Structure formats: C-alpha cells, structure tokens
Amino acid sequence: MLKVLVINCGSSSLKYQLFNMKDQSVLAKGLVERIGLEVGMLKHMPYCKDKIEVSDNIPNHKVAVKMMLDALLDKNHGVLKDISEISAVGHRVVHGAEKFSGSVKITDEVMDVLKECVAIAPLHNPPNIVGIEAAREMLPDVPMVGVFDTAFHQTMPQYAYMYGLPYELYEKYAVRRYGFHGTSHCFVSAEAAKMLNRPIEELKMITLHLGNGSSITAIKNGKSIENSMGFTPLEGIIMGTRCGNIDPAIVPFIMEKEGISPDKMNEYLNKKCGVYGISGVSSDFRDLEEAAKNGNKRADLALKMFSYQAKKFIGSYAAIMNGLDAIVFTGGIGENSATMRQMICKDMEYLGIKIDEAKNQVRGKQADISFEEAKAKALVIPTNEELMIALDTMSLVKTA
C-alpha cells in the first residue's frame, strides 16, 4: 500500500497528514504547535482510533518531526507498524520564485535553490526549509517532493506579473508578482471543471480562496493568468490581518510618523492590519459577522470592505478573460460563510452570476449555489491542498 506523508511547516508549527493513496483516504493527521516556545503541543488524530495530545518542550522542528513519527508509530494511537511503510513525503513550500513552475523531487541541488529563494521570501521559506531538512534527517531513505504555492501561477503573462518599477529591479532582485495559494486554486479549478462536466481547457473561471490569507485567481483554459497576491502574500484583497493593496507611499509615511523600522513595518502590515485592524474586533469572520449583527459599525465596515474588494477583483478578472463561466468559493470563509458569498455575489447579474439563497446555505461541501438559469455558475468547493500535494508527490516519485 502506497502511503504518502504530507508536511506543512510554519515558523512555530508543523501540520501533517498521512494518506493511503490507494483510495486517497487520510490514515492520520495532526499538528505540532508552539515549536521553540516554552511548552509545545502535539495533537494527533488517527482515523478510527482515539486522538492524543502530548505537551512537551519542542525546541525545534527536528524534535517536532520525531514526535510526529512517534505518534504515527505509537502502539495505541499509531497507524504504522514501521517507518519504512512511508513511501514518500510531500512538503508544502510557499515560494518557488521563478525557479519552480511545478513540483520537484528534493535533492541537495534543489535545497540550494530553495535557500536562494529565501532572499525574496524571508518570512515564509525558512520554516519550510527547516522542516524539509529535519524530515530528510529523520527519514533519510524516503524520497521527498516540494510542492510550491507559486508554481501554478508561473503561467501568468509578463505584462501581468511586472510592477511599474525600473526593469533592473526585476533583473537584479526578481521583484515581480508571483501569486500564491496555487495548490488550492489548481485543485478547486480542476474540481469545478468536473462539477460542470466540461473540459477545463475551455473554461473561464475565477477562484476565490478566502481564508486567513485570501487570494483570487483568473484561470483561463486551465491556466492561471492572474492572481491577486504579488511579490509576497501581502498584496491583493484585504485579509484577516494583512492590509492587501494600499498606496505604496503610505508605507514610508507611517514608518516616519510612527517611528517604525522596515522589519517591524513588514510585520505590522502582515499582522496588525486587514479586517482585524479595521474592526478592532477580530480577524475571524465568524466574530465579525456576529459583531456586525450586534450593531458594531467597524465590524460591518470590515465585512463591506472585504466583499467590495472581492467584487472588484471579480469584475476585473472577467474583463481580462473576456467572459466568465464560473466563480468558485473555497478556503475557510469561502466554504463556510453564506453571508460573505451573498455579499460578494449581490448585484452581479451583468456577469451572469445569480445565486439562489436557499442553495447558498451550504457549509463545507461541494455545491452549485446558482440559479439554474445563471449563465456563470457560482460553486462552493472545499479545498484540499494536502491531497493535491500527496498526488503530486506520488506522481513524481513513481516516475523517478
């Protein structure tokens, strides 16, 4: 039985899922949190067995990988008898820059290139690299694959990915737009084509991955031609705690007025802004919807800003594709919030979008929420980045 382990490392966390690729079922999944902090925690959820939680000092990702493997092998809560049952490991990597337009088998040379990418993704790639290194050390004989959030968007045309900055900055520092959440956009667009029972090669789609981080993609004939995120995942629509598009002149202005250093400013724009900064309530849309219902004006404003900006992207993406067959909602908000889907889809009949409020009351499962006669379909499709990573990993390992 082919078992593929998928690992997604953040700066202080490691998420994992072990798949049985025969039927794509999840054998176990889990999360190691608070790595490097005083007390860390492993939560391990095996399929058909009791889950466990272990708190311990988890000083680094190597220890986290060891804890994950121990849990997978545990007599009572594990799902493996021997570590050799793991056929391959797939790693999520945030930024592949222009170096990777698809997933790759990890070698020493690939590791060197990944390290080069840190220059343009200092916030996101280091934890991914640390996780890969730890896994390679603990599982030296297991083939590993890197799957990049940016890869799917490498089909964006140059006139879409360039900024209006001197061309030399692109040549010297690779400053350009990359786009993110590619694994998710790719997965849901393929699922959407299946749902519509049409070849993806003839579809014009807009996929909205709306979660803590949100991005929107224009997918024409199966290829990403535009994504709302840019050089980093800060660009685009307003997000949970990220500002999204702002006038760049605001950045030095605030730095000067508030005495903020470049490092701190990056953190500020990533962590203190977005709907959280606007509302002062929360970055979680459940809290915002509740607060808005109870009359909180700033929570209401944050929700209106989010839906308005999503609507603007949809309009502009329909324009660049010269039409629209479907919009797809995914991510925690897209999959679960009927309110937000309704706000975004309101008054878009001109694009052929018309959603049925009864059908829209769906949560977390695939559904067509449009009226029968709607020319452009509105679909809800739960994303499954882990499965996509496992599938890519399997196909690369098989063909090796």
Q: Please give the positions annotated as active site.
A: 149
Q: Work out how close the CB of 107 gets to ligand ADP at its nearest, in angstroms, rounded to a whole number.
A: 29
Please give the size of the binding site for ligand ADP, defined by CB under 6 A: 12
CB of 338 to ligand ADP, least distance (A): 8
Q: State the amino acid at position 176 in one-letter form.
A: R
For 184, other C-beta atoms within 10 Å of its C-beta total 24
Q: Which is nearer to ligand ADP, 179 or 211 (CB)?
A: 211
211 sits near ligand ADP (criterion: CB under 6 A): yes
Question: Nearest-CB residue to ligand ADP?
Answer: 332
Three-state secondary structure call for residue 44: strand
Q: How far is 48 from 78, CA to CA, in rounded Å?
A: 10
Q: Sort 259 into a burial class: Cβ within 10 Å, 0-12 / 13-18 / 19+.
A: exposed
Asked if residue 385 belongs to a known ligand binding site, the reply is yes
**Residues 316-335 vs ligand ADP: string with x where CB under 6 A?**
---------------xxx--
Q: How many CA atoms lie within 13 A of 109 on its CB side?
A: 4
266 is a contact residue toward ligand ADP (CB under 6 A): no
First to last CA, the chain: 18
Task: Quote the least distance from Cβ 157 to ligand ADP, whole Å.
Answer: 27
Q: Give dist(CA 58, CA 184) in Å, integer.
A: 30
Closest CB to ligand ADP among 10 and 126? 10
Q: Residue 78 is encoded by which pair of tokens?
A: 């594990």
Smallest distance, Å, CB 116 to ligand ADP? 26
154 touches ligand ADP (CB under 6 A):
no
Type of residue at 79:
V
277 sits near ligand ADP (criterion: CB under 6 A) = no
Residue 214 beta carbon to ligand ADP: minimum distance, rounded to whole angstroms? 8
Say if residue 102 carries a ligand binding annotation. no
- 74, 85, 284, 356: which one contacts ligand ADP (CB under 6 A)? 284
The first and second tokens of residue 234, run together, are 């800060």
Q: Is 15 labelled a binding residue?
A: yes
- CA 172, CA 168: separation in Å to the nearest integer? 6
Using DSSP's 3-state secondary structure scheme, residue 169 falls into: helix
Using CB under 6 A, which of 213, 230, 244, 352 touches ligand ADP? 213
- 362 exposed, middle or buried (CB, 10 Å; 0-12, 13-18, 19+)? middle
Using CB under 6 A, which of the segments 64-72, 207-215, 304-312, 387-395 binds ligand ADP? 207-215
Beta strand 204-210 with 214-220: parallel, antiparallel or unpaired?
Answer: antiparallel
CB of 109 to ligand ADP, least distance (A): 31
Residues paired with 93 in a beta bridge = 148
Query: Smallest distance, Å, CB 360 to ligand ADP?
Result: 13
Alpha-carbon Rg for the chain in angstroms? 21
Q: Nearer to ligand ADP by C-beta: 85 or 284?
A: 284
C-alpha–C-alpha distance, residues 194 and 15, integer Å? 29
Closest to 88 measured CA to CA, from 158, 18, 173: 18
227 is in an annotated binding site: no
Does 211 appear as a known binding residue? yes
Return the residue matching tokens 């379909």. Answer: 377
Query: Considering the rule CB under 6 A, would residue 286 count as an interface residue with ligand ADP?
Result: yes
Beta-bridge partners for 328: 207, 379
Report the Cα 181 to chain-centroid distance in Å. 4
Q: Which residues inside 218-257 make contact with ligand ADP, applying CB under 6 A? A: 240
Output the CA torsion sign for 270, 337, 285, 40.
negative
Has 210 been labeled as part of a binding site?
yes
Q: Does 212 bind ligand ADP (CB under 6 A)?
A: yes
Alpha-carbon distances of 197 from 194, 208, 325, 330, 378, rounded to whole Å: 5, 20, 12, 19, 14
Nearer residue to ligand ADP within complex by CB, 89 or 208:
208
Residues 332-391 that bind ligand ADP (CB under 6 A): 332-333, 336-337
Distance from the Cα of residue 160 to its chain's centroid: 21
Rule CB under 6 A: say whether 30 interacts with ligand ADP: no
Contact segment (CB under 6 A) with ligand ADP among 71-79, 283-291, 294-302, 303-311 equals 283-291
Q: Which is nearer to ligand ADP, 184 or 393 (CB)?
A: 184
**Residues flagged as binding site:** 8, 15, 92, 209-213, 284-286, 332-336, 385
Contact footprint for ligand ADP (CB under 6 A): 211-213, 240, 284-286, 331-333, 336-337
**Residues flagged as binding site for Mg(2+):** 8, 385
**Residues flagged as binding site for ATP:** 15, 209-213, 284-286, 332-336
